[in-house]
Amino acid sequence: MSFVLRLCRVALFALLLTLPAATAAAAPEIMPLADIRAGMQGIAKTVVSGTQIEEFGVEVLGIMKNKGPSGDLILVRTFGDLIDRTGGIAQGMSGSPVYIDGKLVGAIAYGWSFTDHKVGMVTPIADMLKIWELNAPDPGKDKTPEEPLPEKTDQRPDGQPGEKGADNVPAKPPEETATPLMAAGFGERSLAFLADKLRSFKLTPYAVGDTPADAAFAPLEPGSAVGVQLVRGDVSLGAMGTVTYVEGNKVLAFGHPFLKKGGTSYFLTNAYVFTTVNGLENSFKVGAVGPALGIIDQDRGAGVAGELGRFPSIVPLRINITDSTLGNSQDAVIQVVQDEQLFPVLAAASVLSVIEKTADRVGAGTSKITFEISARNMPGEVFKRENMFYSPANIGEQTISELYELMALLASNQFQPVDIFDIQVDATVTPERRTATIMEARANVAAAKPGDKIEITVGLKPFRGETITRTVPFTVPKDQPAGPMTLEVRGGGMVPLIELLSKRQKGDDELLQMIGKLKTKSFADMIKDLAERDRNNDIVVEVLSADAGEFLGGAGATKAPAAKLEPVYEVDAAAAKHSPRSAPTAGAKKPESKSTVSTDYIIDSDTQILINITKD
């Protein structure tokens, strides 16, 4: 066989793989809702293990008027061997197509908890087909969720109000239940982070394994397991349901909303079911999302709709984490969907998962992180930040704090949408506590003139280590008035107690003024504030405000340098408490009134020095 012929056969095989819908069966006839009567029986299709589609029986019990988010729902009872094995309608069956006399009626969409799991409700196919009539908008322009339906007074069969969806998605009210997300590759802490941050979206992550390497996926057809994926790559996060209808490259699934966000941009994937568990509250499928097939571009009350062969916009994450103690190093490449509300949480949790896997532990430790974000419509287009962190309880989550803060700022900024096209994260973690306390500080002069360069020698006591010194050069501001100048010597991650107390004494007026200034900040200023924020491992020397200097008392006092290193002014040990700095210090000093020197330690505590400023 010639080389050219072999290439042609390979190309033909690859082409066939990209056309899963081309082999789909002819579209079935549809049964209108008006023709459906109580007592009718039919079948439904779903996957309860692996990828094999199975059937179960369905009997119509009646029509529930205006019960669903898109209109009427069909009340049914399910039966058969499959239902006996699963214990009833299971989470993950949502979207299972229902046929009566060979005609498509709709999709299994809702069931009840703690009652008869064999009874559920079907979303009529006519309501699902309307989703295709919508022009799929740019997801960046359609971010407002649809308004939930008004509270209804319908009663459950057991006399209690409310019902849950077959994927734990309720018909009403949406606050009652959460949609399960299949999470592969996430550890305990990253799952807890996701659960906390996604609670407001009614999403709950559950740990699952990866799809088996030998899993065989056929082209999508009604009854196939299908996924809506938010994160893919070395970790995966997505919801699982069932395909209701396929026409050409178009797919309908779920029979109920996922997040009901209207126009969306999520991955449409295959899905694999490990097993279906018969539970007391709900039966549920345990599975994982598989290879990406296309895009989910509509998320409406009657279900989700997507298109094969067209893929969503993503944010790529390139992550490298090293544990200096174990010598472990992990590289990860992850794709996160571009959803402004979800992206910061999903990306931060993905980085946290790699940290957790690399360190193979949780708890205290020190980390050093460098991250770089490249984005269109972001001031400067490239943002790079380096910092050190220590946590006595959760070093992983502390490490991602500033990265999460920046991504949240970019996603929620009020000025313009930001298109992030690359994120690179490099971090080193260790269980060691690399912190140091400022024990004392002194200047090499007692008096100076505006513009003079002086040196501040700082004594540091590393945790369980010997005292070391660092010298910080400082230039007296050229506009510094004559008289006592109070210098604050602190760690970059701390806000001095003296300054906080002095501002508090001024009352609410200054606070309101400060809030007003924050509201008028430009996007560029916000980015600059974060970029220029002092690092936790910096020693910072800066001029305290006049109010803070007066608060200290003894405003006219100065002290000549002593022969040995000793603090010129030291805060009383009982009062030397500080607030962790999570935002730029209010009333930030001009650049010439502050100097910094980086160290290999996270610096805590502070002290003050008085320098007498003379004009002659």
d(CA 307, CA 291): 14
Q: Give the three-class secondary structure for 8.
A: helix
Q: Which of 297, 271, 90, 281 is closest to 184 using CA atoms?
A: 271
Would you kindly state where each structural domain of the chain is located, as residue ranges?
A: 23-142+163-310, 314-430, 435-613
**pLDDT at res. 69:** 77
d(CA 16, CA 509): 70
Scanning the structure block, which residue is given the tokens 């460098």? 370
d(CA 11, CA 521): 55
Name the pLDDT band for 8 (thresholds 50, 70, 90).
very low
Beta-bridge mates of residue 57: 43, 79
Q: Which of 348, 295, 299, 357 is closest to 326 using CA atoms?
A: 357
d(CA 303, CA 340): 22
Neighbours of 12 (CB within 10 A): 10
Are residues 59 and 41 in contact, defined by beta-carbon separation less than 8 angstroms?
yes
Chain segment 142-196, per-residue pLDDT in tens: 433 333 333 333 333 333 333 444 444 343 433 334 688 999 999 999 999 999 9
Name the pLDDT band for 507 (thresholds 50, 70, 90).
low
d(CA 403, CA 186): 18
**pLDDT at res. 22:** 37
Please give, one letter per residue, the 3-state secondary structure of 189-242: HHHHHHHHHHHHHCEEEEEECCCCCCCCCCCCCCCCEEEEEEEEECCEEEEEEE
Averaged pLDDT, 521-534: 93
Please give, one letter per residue, the 3-state secondary structure of 361-407: CCCCEEEEEEEEEEEECCCCCEEEEEEEEEECCCHHHHHCHHHHHHH
Chain segment 545-556, per-residue pLDDT in tens: 765 555 455 433
Chain segment 181-196, per-residue pLDDT in tens: 999 999 999 999 999 9
pLDDT at 12 over 70: no
pLDDT at 334 over 90: yes
Percent of the chain surpassing pLDDT 90:
67
Beta-bridge mates of residue 437: 461, 604
In this prediction the pTM is: 0.80
**pLDDT at res. 238:** 96
Q: Which of 56, 44, 52 is closest to 273 using CA atoms?
A: 52
Query: Domain spanning 23-142+163-310 has what CATH number?
Result: 2.40.10.10
Distances (CA, A) of 387 to 18, 150, 277, 367, 398: 45, 48, 46, 8, 11
Q: Which of 485, 469, 467 is closest to 477 using CA atoms?
A: 485
Sign (positive or negative) of CA dihedral 224, 228, 231, 235: negative
Scanning the structure block, which residue is given the tokens 């239902």? 83
- The pair of structure tokens assigned to 103 is 């005609």
Residue of higher predicted confidence among 546 and 37: 37
**pLDDT at res. 116:** 73
d(CA 398, CA 351): 12
**pLDDT at res. 276:** 87
**pLDDT at res. 159:** 31
Rounded to the nearest 10 degrees, the angle between the axes of helix 188-198 and helix 343-359 is: 170
pLDDT at 524 over 60: yes
Q: Which of 273, 335, 243, 255 is closest to 20 using CA atoms?
A: 243
Scanning the structure block, which residue is given the tokens 């893929």? 311
d(CA 356, CA 352): 6
- The pair of structure tokens assigned to 69 is 């988010």
**Phi-psi bin for 62: left (phi > 0), alpha (psi -120 to 50), beta?**
left
Please give, one letter per residue, the 3-state secondary structure of 448-498: ECCCCEEEEEEEEEECCCCCEEEEEEEECCCCCCCEEEEEEEEECCEECHH
What is the pLDDT of the chain when averaged over all its residues?
82
Task: Average the pLDDT over each of 48-62, 63-77, 326-340 and give the range with the smallest value.
Answer: 63-77
Residue of higher predicted confidence among 99 and 28: 99
Averaged pLDDT, 128-134: 93
Chain segment 205-215, per-residue pLDDT in tens: 999 989 998 99
Are residues 452 and 487 in contact, defined by beta-carbon separation less than 8 angstroms?
no
Please give, one letter per residue, the 3-state secondary structure of 137-174: CCHHHCCCCCCCCCCCCCECCCCCECEEECCCCCCECH
Q: What type of residue is 459?
A: G
